[in-house]
Amino acid sequence: MTPTIQLNDGNEMPAIGFGTFQIPADGSTYKAVSEALKAGYRHIDTAVAYFNEAEVGQAVRDSGIPRDQLWITSKLWLQDYGIEPTTRAIDLSLKKLGLVYLDLYLIHQPYGDVPGAWQSMVTAQQAGKIRSIGVSNMTPKIWQHYVTHFDVKPAVNQVEFNPLFQQHELRKLMVDDQVKLEAWAPLGQGNQALLTNPIVVALANKYQKDAGQIILRFETQLGVIVLPKSTHSARISSNLNIFDFTLNEDEMAQLASLDTGKGRHDPDAPGVQEMLAAYDVHADD
């Protein structure tokens, strides 16, 4: 049974989920999500910008798993920010997924009419279309700009996080409102410098686990929700098999020492907003 983490709105969210970023909607997403559900995942993460919501929804429906045992996340894209556009976008995602409600809905990129989008998401939550609402890719600077003005605080902030980039400043900001950090790229997007690090390798040998399992266990022991992604059956299963051992305090400190304070994506960098705003998620609708 996958452990859960209680969110600040009272909902219980599985501590590990299956990520679908960059899995094509050519049957590959359906296959991967089906494999993940068979392996025991009960938390699936998608987004309108991944163009695979329909295949995620089909796999969920075909699994036969009761809806109340699943946690399904999707995300709002930039071109749909604002009160009315966000309302339409939520309904469209629900239609593509074939679901009555979403368990979590996130502001995917924190630029533009974020307040209008958030207001619409709060309304959708009150209407029962979404159970929990949150944000993504918010740095400390962006967090201070927007979230301090929100009447309803996010349940999660989904950001880049792994042993090389541990988001210390951001985590300090989030703790007062009990906002949980959810990690994309929890394995550093296959970063070999991380996966072959001597500390990680030594712990993998000690616990008879692979490097990815050591890293994911470190993160979950910190209280971080993780979203590993794979299209390989063995890896899908192994990434979930991390709750039968516990890293001790010294081992956690060794892994914490790997932090460089830098990630691969900087949402504060000049030009990022403009680059992302040019990405059309409704070209084929």
CA distance 55 to 98: 10
- What's the burial of 38, exposed, middle or buried (CB within 10 Å: 0-12/13-18/19+)? middle
CA distance 88 to 123: 13
What pLDDT does residue 190 have?
Answer: 87
Q: Are 160 and 184 in contact (CB under 8 A)?
A: yes
Residue 68 to residues 12, 30, 35, 37, 269: CA-CA distances in angstroms?
11, 20, 19, 14, 40
Give catalytic residue positions.
50
- The pTM of this model reads 0.97
pLDDT digits (tens, 9 = 90+) for 179-203: 999 999 999 998 999 999 999 999 9
pLDDT digits (tens, 9 = 90+) for 86-113: 999 999 999 999 999 999 999 999 999 9
What pLDDT does residue 137 have?
Answer: 98
pLDDT digits (tens, 9 = 90+) for 18-37: 999 999 999 999 999 999 99
